[in-house]
Structure 1
Amino acid sequence: MSEPTAPTAADVRSAADALKAAIDAHLAAVEGRSDESDPAVRTAFLAMAAAAESYDDALYDTYNEVTPFEIPSQYPESAADPDNPEAISVLIRRDYQIEHPGRLLGAARGLAAGAVDPELDISTVSGSLAALFDVFDPDEIHNRSDELGLLPGDGTTWVLASDPEAVADEQWFEDPFSDTDPERIVCRFDVIGDEEDDEYFDTFAEDGAEDEIDGIEVV
């Protein structure tokens, strides 16, 4: 396979012209947008970002020179509008006390016949937990908590507006809970033990205005 050729001076000039055109197109989209979430602006923004990155790469490869641009990887906050989300992320936290370690280890051993990763050491609590979560999804773990020796504690579920491209980008696996901006909450549901947290609804809503549907607050 042949090595890719380095960009020429003409390629750099062409990338610069493409960036100028993308800037003009973005400005035109902003000037003519119908509302804050006009998709034409988002499309123009992403095209401008791609053109800027292409120019930045060509300039560096040809002249060993850099630009002052910080190329964004996604569209900013308006693409994650909690009032009109284009995508969502659901963050769930459930706390448990390990009330019966022996029951936990026994449950893991009961699944050992072909269901558990043989590399997991199910003679330990941590290995048994890993085995059980490998076999059951979190909802099944919760439903079987007594059988597994777990005592449910508090829990919370946050539904956040997200950028569609960020949702499709698997790089978020490296730090899945870093972007938990409360401003992007679509709705949130808190449980204290087995009881709904009534105080939450009094303290979270701004100016005392809130809509509650079966324990879910729509922000």
Structure 2
Amino acid sequence: MPAQILIVEDEPKIASLLSDYLAHGGYQTRICGTGEDALDVLRRDPPDVVLLDLMLPGIDGLDVCKQLRTFSDVPVIMITARADEVDRLLGLELGADDYICKPFSPREVVARVRALLRRIQTLKENGRADTGGLLLDENRFEASWQGRAVSLTVVEFALLKTLADHPGHIRSRQQLIDRIYTDNRVVSDRTVDSHIKKLRRKLADAFPEVEFIHSIYGAGYRFEASPAETAD
């Protein structure tokens, strides 16, 4: 069955263009022109991937993403006309898996969708992995510790698994970029840091007694389960 792509875009010409290219790429599409409509569809009939415009009437894309992450981990590619890196990083912190800046090539959008779906399939094919007590479920994109579980986005899960596959080893930001983004795009260190920040926050909220991801100044990140530091 073809993957279902939800296009959330209030400009009809852009929405139609994206839909045509995605359909030509073998995907089924649905278009929503407002954030309210998108959230309704996402609750009733979640797609495989969401293409989410940042500038929407009413509820904007950032708010849609924020609300979506309270009930779903469906992959989100954010589309933005804002060139400011802060806006893009904010979208990633709110749970977007990727972003594309306008003006864009429709072929690039299709390629990003395809790469994201391929990443999901690869993770699911790997099944379940136990990394020193932290159980990673690739089918659900969940991390479990002592009977408790937390849901992650595709990128967060891939980052955690990349680090957890080699406990105690330092992984540079570039190594993480190469593993997560396989289409050779240019990705800044700040993008990786933003994803890691959100991932660490989720893990800390779910498992406050243990710290899994450690920052190594000037080098990158290391996975190692250790007691979390507590404030005096």
Fold shared by both chains (TM-score > 0.5): no
* Pairwise TM-score range, normalised by the shorter structure: under 0.3
Greater relative contact order, per chain length (Cα 8 Å cut-off, separation 6+) = 1
Higher gyration radius (CA): 1
Q: Which has the higher strand share?
A: 2
After TM superposition, the score normalised by the length of structure 1 is 0.27
Q: Which has the higher helix share?
A: 1
